[in-house]
Chains A and B, each alone.
Chain A
Amino acid sequence: MFTYYLRLAWISIIRHWGLSLVMICAIGLGIGAAMTTITVNYLMSANPIPHKSEQLFYVQLDSWDVNEPFDEGVNPPDQLTYTDSTNLMKAKKAFRQNVQAQAYGVIEPEDADLLPISVTARANSADFFAMFDVPFIYGLAWSEQSDLGKEQVMVLSKKINEQIFGGENSVGKTIKFDNNIFKIIGVIDYWQPKPRFYDISTGAFSESEDVFVPFSLIAEEKIRRSGNTNCWKPSGDGMAAFLAGECIWTQFWVELKSEQDRQDYMTFLNAYVEEQKQYGRFERPLNNRLSNVMEWLERQEVVADDARMMMAMSLMFLTVCLLNTIGLLLAKFLGKAPEIGLRQALGASKATLFSQYIIESACIGLAGGILGLGLSFLGLIGIENLYGEYMQGLATLDITMMTFAVVLALVCTVIAGLYPTWRACNISPAQQLKSQ
């Protein structure tokens, strides 16, 4: 029976080809637009580290000006002062902890033929690699002793290792970075979390860094820091005064194994702030926060307004396309009233008629879905070209989204077809036959 209905649907679609084309195009365009924007939103709000996103927490402490609270008092500052993050580091109250900031510098290759390379760097502590599951090709991460001993060690990205050492195992070699000699102790594989959750402040979709160096070297002025610095109170001249000042420029992550650990850590943070209050710091009321990865991404509004707005628009667009389809299907099915009347008179049940017309709707939906899939490929290419770097890697359709596109088209059209089909099944045969 099913194949028979498919044949009937085919005949009907071909006979009214103009109308069918309008419907297929409308569904295709609607699905194409919706899928393009849904994909971008889906990738923007993806979980970059699913297996442990619930165990990694970003720490916020409200060290800000009592007269002019940060973010009008809604959220605590988005980074920590050097004083606080180093104190939390020393306290070692979490399973793992990492203090970090963005840095940069120039690598001078030994090979005189190679030009100096300007690189981006992440200054972080030893736990960074284990916490964020950074994959290594050669060597290992540095240890806590290296952090404390302010050792000049470096972990290279795959890209830089290829550029300087041609991709071979460079562990044990040295490299001249900003006039200081660093020992290479590890090379990581390609690693680009999307969003780049570990540091939202320098761009949620920026590239991960070229090299990694111990955070403790910043205070030694062996590394030049970059990234965002925000101060509410002027600090004195020089590095020591800057480090001791009320400027926020470091990020602090902890890894906590259980809900109990999270509560304990929160208690510890509050106690820490209470203690600091005695030194005249933290004049604002207690406002500390621990956010796990997904909470943090949400708080920092990683999904761009543009993307959300576009998605809202494209869903409305899809609705218009579906209304269009309902209207056209209704017209088409009602146009077949005499035929339906005749079939009913010859004994076709309502259920038979219903399945026949739903199959016809589904066929149109399937065709629209396939067209929509093609259009969303084009749409995503277009988005990537239009937005450039900003959307790099965010505009790809995976198999989940592809299936979703076709299913969405089918479901939408079948729903759109319900009312017209119902109307068609309720045509009274007597009246239709009379008018013939």
Chain B
Amino acid sequence: MLETGLIIRALMRNKIGALLIALQIALTMTIIVNAIFMIQDRESQMLRSSGVDELNTFYLTNTIFGQDYNIQSALQTDLNTLRKMPGVVDAIQINAIPLSGGGWSSGVQTEAGEDKDSIGTAVYMVDDHAINALGLELIAGENFSATDIQWRKSGQSTWADKVIVTKALALSLFPDDWQSALGKTVFISQNQTIQIIGIVKQLQAPWNGWDGVERSMLVPFQMESKGSRLFIRTQPGQRDQLMPQIEKLLAESDKGRIIRRMRTMEETRERSYQRHNATNKILTTVVITLTIITGFGIVGLAIFSINRRTKQIGTRRALGATRWQIMRYFMMENLLISGVGIVIGCIGAVSLNMWLVKTFNLAPINIELILFGVISLLIVGQLAVLYPAKKASMISPAMATRTV
């Protein structure tokens, strides 16, 4: 179009002004593309399932302080009482809670020996009710039997001889075929043997930021320890009603301990991802405000440049330019400036992302998102200039005859 050349020549007379808007658009693009990218990254982490029936489960901490306390029989009594309660699906003692941030890990290896590579995995010490109580899905092999369960003393260094692993752990140990892990003997604590008797579909580790979060295993241990957790699954819809009942029941049945920190899995998830959630909300606010500021900046500058050119616009109208042509002129002008800004913005967005990848181990950005940034900023620019351009097109041809 012939007009483009004209617009460029006009812009060159006020290079700095145009460059400022272009730079502003470029920086806005750099920030919002990366912010949206980080939001998406966190969203996808938060959407991962823990493998546990989160809606119907809760847990509490049992701290024993009484003297001459029979830990073994007290635990059996608790579990029997809980499992018989109407509304309770199942209950177990467990050493750590998925997503909670605190737990145990250990290294598992396919070859024995100090100098062999091992794979880190979360360890859950549970009994044969675990699959039911946690709500896991056994996809290969079998569950523990009651006779597999051993008592584990505090500070004990030997392991039980059977384990159930997650599919992700099986795949890490046997990268060619996770199903081949079933029945295999692997090594823990460098040279103790353990046999994989079952594989569950999913059970996350307690640490959501860990890159091995999907790797965990169930070990058939009941802990003879003064501090442990009881994990309880209820019938759908009965959790909230049962929680205070169970807390009261346990606290009153035995005076040699404290029942505390009762918490649902839903709350645990919320706490676990609280920082993710918070960061996402802040980033969203940044994206929105930044877009608004840039938009208003464009409006402000466009109104000013139009006010300054009132007389010229009047002259053009008097010489036969239609309203639409005037509007088109300003929209085209904005398109050109935005275009330059967006090109710089693309470079900026990729550079910022490269820095984030280097400094904070973020993933590289995808092209779709950059494209999204390009299109949305073009739209924002056009929308922002719409009102000033409309106003410009309303300038009467008679203005040409008046002095400023």
Contacts and interface: CB of A to CB of B under 8 A. Distances in A.
Chains A and B form a bound pair = yes
Interface of A: 18-19, 22, 25-26, 29, 33, 65, 67, 104-106, 108, 115-116, 118, 178-179, 224, 233-239, 241-242, 305-306, 308-310, 313-314, 316-317, 319-321, 323-324, 326-328, 330-332, 334-335, 338, 382-383, 386-388, 390, 419, 423, 435-436
Contacts of B271: 388
Contacts of A390: 274-275
B23 A323 contact: yes
A421 B300 CA distance: 18
Contact of B157 (A33, A234, A314, A335): A234
Contact of A65 (B114, B294, B300, B308): B114
Interface in B143-187: 153, 155-158
Contacts of A306: 275, 279
Given A118-B260, A178-B65, A321 B404 contact: no
Contact of A116 (B258, B275, B305): B258
B16 A419 contact: yes
A26 B296 contact: yes
Q: Which 6 A-B pairs have the closest CB atoms?
A: A386-B278, A331-B304, A106-B65, A327-B20, A324-B297, A234-B189
Contacts of B20: 323, 326-327, 330
A387 B278 contact: yes
Given A224-B226, A309-B356, A436-B403, A238 B155 contact: yes
A316 B281 CA distance: 18
Nearest to B360: A305
A386 B38 CA distance: 17
Contacts of B193: none
B358 to A, nearest CB: 12
A320 B227 contact: no
A19 B279 CA distance: 32
A308 B362 CA distance: 14
A186 B4 CA distance: 82
Contact of A323 (B24, B67, B227, B283): B24
Contacts, number: 145
Given A237-B155, A320-B293, A108 B65 contact: yes
Given A29-B293, A331-B305, A118 B258 contact: yes
A332 B281 contact: no
Interface stretch (B27-35, B82-90, B121-129): B27-35
B46 to A, nearest CB: 14
A435 B404 contact: yes
A334 B20 CA distance: 15
Nearest to B38: A309
Given A19-B300, A313-B283, A436-B403, 19 more contacts: A22-B297, A29-B289, A118-B260, A224-B226, A233-B114, A234-B189, A237-B153, A237-B158, A309-B38, A309-B356, A316-B27, A317-B289, A320-B28, A323-B27, A324-B294, A327-B297, A328-B297, A331-B304, A387-B275
B35 A328 contact: no
Contacts of B23: 323
A411 to B, nearest CB: 19
B301 interface: yes
Contact of B63 (A118, A179, A308, A320): A118
Contacts of B283: 313
A179 B67 contact: yes
A202 to B, nearest CB: 10
A328 B157 contact: no
B293 A26 contact: yes
Given A179-B65, A316-B27, A331-B17, A67 B308 contact: no
A143 to B, nearest CB: 28
A339 to B, nearest CB: 11
B16 to A, nearest CB: 7
Interface residues of B, number: 60
24 contacts: A22-B299, A22-B300, A25-B293, A33-B286, A118-B258, A234-B157, A234-B189, A237-B155, A237-B157, A237-B158, A241-B157, A310-B279, A310-B282, A314-B286, A323-B24, A331-B300, A335-B308, A338-B404, A382-B282, A386-B278, A387-B275, A419-B16, A423-B16, A436-B403
B290 A320 contact: yes
A330 B258 contact: no
B153 A105 contact: no
Contacts of B304: 19, 328, 331-332, 335
Interface in B351-371: 356, 359-360
A178 B258 CA distance: 12
Nearest to A319: B27
A316 B278 contact: no
A366 to B, nearest CB: 19
A239 B156 CA distance: 9
B195 interface: no
B284 to A, nearest CB: 11
A316 B293 contact: no
A383 to B, nearest CB: 7
B211 interface: no
A205 B24 CA distance: 37
B21 interface: yes
Contacts of A305: 359-360
A313 B158 CA distance: 50
B65 A316 contact: no
A273 to B, nearest CB: 21
Contacts of B17: 327, 330-331, 334
A321 B296 CA distance: 11
B207 to A, nearest CB: 12
Nearest to A337: B308
A382 B286 CA distance: 13
B132 interface: no
A399 B196 CA distance: 61
Nearest to A326: B20
Contacts of B38: 309
Nearest to B20: A327
Interface in B12-26: 16-17, 20-21, 23-24
B290 to A, nearest CB: 6
B315 interface: no
Given A237-B153, A316-B31, A323-B27, A328 B65 contact: no
Interface string B49-66: 000000000000001011
A199 B114 CA distance: 31
Contacts of B305: 331
B24 A106 contact: no
Given A65-B114, A106-B65, A316-B30, A321 B157 contact: no
Contacts of A387: 274-275, 278
A435 B312 CA distance: 13
Contacts of A328: 297, 300-301, 304
B157 A235 contact: yes
Contacts of B110: none
Contact of B293 (A67, A108, A235, A324): A324
Contact of A317 (B67, B227, B286, B303): B286
B307 interface: yes
Contacts of A234: 157, 189-190, 192
A241 B274 CA distance: 40
A422 to B, nearest CB: 11
